[in-house]
Amino acid sequence: MSKITAYIMINVEVGKTAHVFNMLQKLDFAELVSVTAGEFDIIVRVTVDSLEELFYKTEEIHGIDGVSRTLTLIVEKEAKRED
Amino acid sequence: MRRKYLFYTLAFLSGAFTSLMVAMDIWISAKLIPDIWIFGISILWAGVYIHAFLLPILSLKIYENRPIGHFIDPLFKGVFVPSGKVLHYLIIASLGNAIASLTYFFLIDIMPDPSAVLPFSSVVIIYLIIGDMIIEKESPSIAEIEGLFMILIGVILVSFSRGRIDPISLLLVLGPMNFGSFLYNYGQRKAKIFGRKIGQCDSINFRFWSLLFTTLIFSLLLLIFYISPQIVLLGIYYSVVYFLPLAIDMVITFFAAVFYIRALGMGKMSIVNALSSTSVVIGLPLTLVLSFYFPEVYKIPEMTGLFLYLRSIGVILVFLGIIGISLSEVTAYILIRSRPGYSSKLLEEIIRIRGVESVAAIVGRYDFIVRVRTRAYSKAYDTVLRKIIQLEGIEDVHWVSVLKEWERI
């Protein structure tokens, strides 16, 4: 079965970005964690085995102190540039 | 580990190991094999033996069905024989390496103090930036031009010594030696890009095959230009007699190359070279230490009075130039909403835009998430964003700049 990739956009309470950034690195399903400026504070790229697993992993992220809101965007198709 | 740190560490380590390698080369050629051509051939052949010996060991599966080599480069899955475009570009890289090595040994042969001109080999970074620019069809940013000049002036200052700089040697370094290095870098990078598609892209295999091809081309070029089969045969003979010291030298070279190729797979060619050009900087204190322990082999670098000032300023300039170039890169996400019916067409059109690293069609509030990497903020609008908003079917775009990043590697 193919894996499911998703981007989870996170909004963080003021002053807790560094803490959330560090906690996210400890999650084994997080591939890429970016602190950003703009609509969201942190963007995490995750890969999981099923939608059900994605639900539990998102719950895990909600459990991190400082996370105020998340938006999950599931990848349907992806293209990468090789040069 | 943060991707950025791993990338910098790899490129820096590659530079550090290169300095060690040059020091070891000088020691062997002073103590064991005085004829530089015989030394050149013997060290390359010894390298082929040691790699042929190391490869099966690195392929042994020990932990979780992973080969030992996996711990040096996670992409290593076992030995492969390169084919198609990977083979083609590895041969181009090896030709470049053979040309650069030939010039390097020729310089050591004709110059009493090669340290006065060898730092100029880092000037290859200018060729690389120009190469990147031609490939990407874009002009360098102000930060890059500044960085390049700093490195260039720094290198000139580091190479100052009482010894005269011989114009012919300088031309050899700036010409064939740097051109060879450029060809080597270009070939390796291209081979890596094509290899990624067919699972032939780990740095360990790349190192072995390019060394084998380099050795063959180098021996062939010597036979053509030197017209002396004895030199080649003697070189192969010495590669067995002095196998141990040559092997140590080649193991150091192996690590320098593996770190270099791994870094190359992670970032732009010019930045990797800027970072590994720290070998010029590390070379100075290393020579100082070695000249203390082996005064008969290593000359004490001139570090008194004015030379100390000039060389120190040179070191600082090289560092600042490297940092300036490295920090100017920008990563961002663009979140896109599109009109219905345009999805598959847009996916193909967006990925074709230079500077776009990946694009994913998503379900949720947005329709696409695009990851962008450009050389500077000033370029991000012209090269990427403007092109995206001009595409038919785009309704709304949101730019999200990445300030800090961590990646599982």
pLDDT for B75-93, tens place per residue? 888 888 888 889 999 999 9
B406·A21 Cβ contact <8 A: yes
CB B373 within 8 A of CB B4: no
Tokens 């580091």 — which residue?
Answer: B158
What pLDDT does B177 receive?
85
**What's the pTM value of the predicted model, to 2 decimals?**
0.68
A32·B404 Cβ contact <8 A: no
Q: Which amino acid is at A18?
A: A
A38·B359 Cβ contact <8 A: no
- The tens-digit pLDDT sequence of chain A (83 residues) is 578 999 999 999 999 999 999 999 889 889 899 999 988 999 999 999 999 999 999 999 999 999 999 999 999 998 887 55
Q: Which amino acid is at A10?
A: I
Helices B84-110 and B36-59 pack at an angle, to 10 degrees, of 140
Residue B350, Cβ density class (10 Å: 0-12 exposed, 13-18 middle, ≥19 buried): buried
What pLDDT does B137 receive?
63
Helices B124-136 and B178-198 pack at an angle, to 10 degrees, of 50
Cα–Cα distances (Å) from B213 to B49, B184, B210, in that order, read 13, 12, 5
B405·A33 Cβ contact <8 A: yes
Q: Which residue in A25, A73, A83 is closest to B369 by CB distance?
A: A73
Best of A34, A35, A74, A77 to mutate (most B CBs within 10 Å, chain B): A34
Cα–Cα distances (Å) from B328 to A42, B2, B195, in that order, read 21, 18, 29
Q: A13-17 long-range CB contacts below 8 Å, 24 or more apart?
A: A13/A66, A13/A67, A13/A68, A16/A65, A16/A66, A17/A41, A17/A42, A17/A66
B404·A35 Cβ contact <8 A: yes
Tokens of B28: 């062997």
CB atoms within 10 A of CB B331: 19
CB B244 within 8 A of CB B28: no
Mean pLDDT of B158-165: 63
DSSP H helical segments within chain A, as ranges? 17-25, 51-62
> Which residue of chain A is at minimal alpha-carbon distance from B402?
A36
- Strands, DSSP E only, in B262-367? 330-338, 356-363
pLDDT for B381-402, tens place per residue? 878 899 999 999 999 999 999 9
CB A78 within 8 A of CB B354: no
Q: Spell out the residues 6+ positions from residue B328 whose beta carbon is closer than 8 angstroms to its own.
A: B141, B143, B144, B147, B375, B376
pLDDT for B192-224, tens place per residue? 888 877 878 888 888 889 999 999 999 888 888
Tokens of B74: 């996670």
Which residues of chain A are within 8 Å of residue B403 when distances are taken between CB atoms? 34-37
pLDDT reading at B407 higher than 70: yes
Kindly write down the DSSP assignment for every residue of B212-261, as one continuous string. Answer: HHHHHHHHHHHHHHH--HHHHHHHHHHHHHTHHHHHHHHHHHHHHHHHHH
- Alpha-carbon distance of B42 to B236, in angstroms, equals 5
Instruction: Tell me how far apart the terminal alpha carbons of chain B are, to the nearest angstrom.
Output: 7
CB pairs < 8 Å spanning A and B: 95
What pLDDT does B93 receive?
94
Residues in chain A: 83
What pLDDT does B123 receive?
65
Buried b or exposed e, range B30-52, using 16+ CB within 10 angstroms: eeebeebbbbbbbbbbbbbebbe
Q: State whether the Cα torsion B400-B402-B406-B409 is positive or negative.
A: positive
